């Protein structure tokens, strides 16, 4: 929670927001109010942003502290926005317990798969929540970039070890799992939500210290975000970004 205002999180949230908006604009009529499910919504950054944009949002979160933070943020919003948001305590692996198949136009699952050892069943469940033509947004740690951070920090032993694994220790000190683009592409095809588009997220700023704040100058911050945005759309840069943002479309 202490890092929410830091540079790394600001870059992540802003790039993800731009990419979601771009994909929604490409797939749905302008002004359509969408039914959105945010699985593992955390503090609710994207859920609240989409609600402010006029969409109906359901947030599913298993962590009580995160859910309390999201509820507190929601309580400060105008009544019209509060009415469009429903927050539920629950596990993303059990969406079928809470919702009927085809209940949503957009499903978000950001920063969750890294904590799931066997993600295929969960992904299939998320795809079932989508109406035909619905959009599945996945944000995952990129296993093909795991050697980059230790290598740039001069940790050569850590860099060499990262080439041969898809697990890593995150900044919370937890041993978690990363994903590869080719594997997720095959998985999405197998659950009838084939990959439609993908981006890299946080290439230049991934190594920033946890306490580093974004530039105070708005013009400088926008230049930074523009550089990250461009890298996230451009080969070969996007392939080694710290995070991958994938969009599948329900057939």
Confidence bin at 211 (pLDDT 50/70/90) = confident
- For residue 210, pLDDT over 80 is answered with yes
Structure tokens at 111: 């920063």
Q: What pLDDT, on a 0 to 100 scale, did the predictor assign at position 5?
A: 78
Contacts of 45 (CB under 8 A, 6+ apart): 13
Question: What are the b/e assignments for 3-40, b being 16+ CB within 10 Å?
Answer: eeebbbbbbbbbbbeebbeebbeebbeeeeebbbbbbb
Q: What pLDDT, on a 0 to 100 scale, did the predictor assign at position 20?
A: 98
CB 177 within 8 A of CB 229: no
Interatomic CA distance for residues 4 and 210, integer angstroms: 10
Interatomic CA distance for residues 203 and 236, integer angstroms: 11
Put the strands of the sheet holding 195-201 in their side by side order: 85-89, 56-61, 35-39, 104-110, 130-141, 243-249, 195-201
Confidence bin at 151 (pLDDT 50/70/90) = very high
Confidence bin at 193 (pLDDT 50/70/90) = very high
Name the helix (H) or strand (E) containing 35.
strand 35-39
CB 96 within 8 A of CB 113: no
Per-residue pLDDT reduced to its tens digit, 48-89? 999 999 999 999 999 999 999 999 999 999 999 999 999 999
Residue keyed to tokens 């933070």: 69
């Amino acid at each position: 929670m202490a890092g929410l205002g830091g540079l790394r999180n600001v870059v992540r949230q802003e790039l993800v927001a731009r990419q979601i908006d771009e994909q929604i604009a490409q797939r749905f009529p302008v002004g359509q109010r969408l039914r959105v499910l945010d699985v593992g919504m955390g503090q609710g950054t994207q859920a609240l942003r989409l609600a402010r944009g006029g969409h109906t949002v359901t947030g599913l979160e298993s962590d009580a502290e995160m859910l309390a933070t999201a509820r507190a943020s929601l309580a400060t919003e105008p009544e019209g926005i509060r009415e469009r948001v429903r927050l539920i305590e629950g596990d993303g692996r059990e969406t079928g317990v809470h919702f009927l198949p085809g209940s949503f136009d957009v499903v978000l699952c950001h920063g969750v798969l890294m904590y799931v050892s066997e993600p295929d069943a969960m992904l299939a469940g998320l795809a079932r929540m989508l109406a035909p033509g619905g959009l599945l947004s996945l944000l995952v740690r990129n296993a093909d970039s795991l050697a980059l951070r230790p290598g740039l920090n001069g940790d050569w032993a850590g860099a060499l070890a990262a080439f041969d694994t898809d697990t890593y220790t995150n900044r919370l000190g937890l041993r978690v799992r990363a994903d590869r683009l080719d594997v997720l592409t095959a998985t999405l095809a197998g659950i009838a939500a084939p990959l439609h588009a993908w981006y890299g997220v946080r290439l230049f700023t991934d190594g920033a210290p946890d306490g580093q704040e974004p530039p105070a100058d708005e013009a400088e911050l926008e230049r930074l975000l523009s550089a990250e945005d461009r890298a996230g759309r451009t080969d070969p840069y996007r392939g080694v970004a710290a995070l991958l943002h994938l969009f599948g479309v329900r057939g």
